[in-house]
Amino acid sequence: MGRLLLSALGAFCLLTAAGLPAGAETPPGFELVEETVAVVNGEPILLSDVRLYQLLFGEKDFRKAVERLVEVYLVAQYAAERGLEIPPQKVWEMVENFAAAQGTTVERLYADLQRLGLGGAVFQNFLVKYNLYLGALQLFVIKPLTENEQELELLLAAKTPESVPVYELEILKVPKEVAVKRSDVLVGMDFEKVSEELGLEPVELRVRPEDLKPEIARVVRRLKPGQTDFAEDQNFIYLVKLKAVSYETPPDAKERALEELKRERVERFVKKLKEQAVVKVLVSEPPTSR
């Protein structure tokens, strides 16, 4: 079985922004009971789970809290089905780290939770679920997206109007009169053969589109890395091979595009899980408003 443990402080970078409100108490008339709010593939989400989520994330909208917990449970279940788990001894370590990040002790943390009707078991269960959720997203969504750098660069460039392509090219410049006489050599578009047969040395360039002749730039834009084609002007035939393409993107724009791409992939991943799941929401409004 695979074992997963994210750094508690890293995993809860979102949680510590809200934390447990100082002196928080259960609102008047609000009695927490172990009522089932939703069921995700047969696993219940309790009212106490929703209340804890609202406290930790500062989410006031009960419906949104339920929706987010459904997503957390779905992804955590996906992780568990693939052998990811958090050993019990690590759960306690995460509790200690979280308490330290809040500037308190585990005992005081649990006392605050107990005062709100949210026992330590509720909190520990959420720690496990949320860390499995984060771990699954990292392993099954973010990692596949970022491990292929060339593909990622293309995806980011497509999202970033500021990106400028930079082409790595090989070009053979053949006078037209020579090209007409030796068309048999050119037809195969074999760089080595054409270079050897015609006694021409290819030129290697790393350029932006605006630095190329317009006739060559038009050809290069439609090529994929590894492809070769002809361009021509009034006096020459150019055998052009695109070796690679990279992009110059402002760092801030690249970071924004990456975050947007990650968000889209996560949303797509969660949507697919929802389509395959059996989810029943039993309570969509907080008890005080019913």
CATH code for the domain of 267: 1.10.4030.10
Q: Are residues 215 and 126 in the same domain?
A: no
Residue 288: the pLDDT is: 66
- How many distinct structural domains can be found in the chain? 2
Residue 191, domain CATH: 3.10.50.40
User: How far is the C-alpha of 228 from the C-alpha of 281, rounded, in Å?
Assistant: 57
Residue 109 lies in a domain: yes
CB of 240 within 8 A of CB of 216?
A: yes
Place of tokens 């730039």: 217
Q: Which of 159, 150, 164, 163 is nearest to 226 (CA)?
A: 150
In a domain, 156, yes or no: no
Same domain, yes or no: 13 and 144 = yes
Is 277 part of any domain?
Answer: yes
CA distance 4 to 75: 14
pLDDT digits (tens, 9 = 90+) for 44-55: 999 999 999 999
Structure tokens at 211: 């630095």
pTM of the model as a whole: 0.71
Do residues 142 and 270 share a domain? yes
What pLDDT, on the 0 to 100 scale, is given for residue 289?
A: 52
Q: Are residues 142 and 273 both part of a single domain?
A: yes
Identify the burial level of 276 via C-beta atoms within 10 angstroms of its C-beta, where 0-12 means exposed, 13-18 middle and 19 or more buried.
exposed
In a domain, 12, yes or no: yes
Closest to 77 (Cα-Cα) out of 36, 35, 122, 39: 39
CA 281 to chain centre: 28
Shared domain check, 75 and 198 = no
Boundaries of domain holding 174: 164-248
Q: Which residue ranges in the chain fall short of pLDDT 50?
A: 1-33
Does residue 253 form part of some domain?
A: no
Residues 266 and 242 in one domain: no
Integer angstrom CA distances of residue 62 from 47, 93, 117: 10, 30, 17
Q: Are residues 244 and 265 in the same domain?
A: no
For 148-190, what is each residue's pLDDT tens digit?
888 888 888 888 888 889 999 999 999 999 888 888 888 877 8
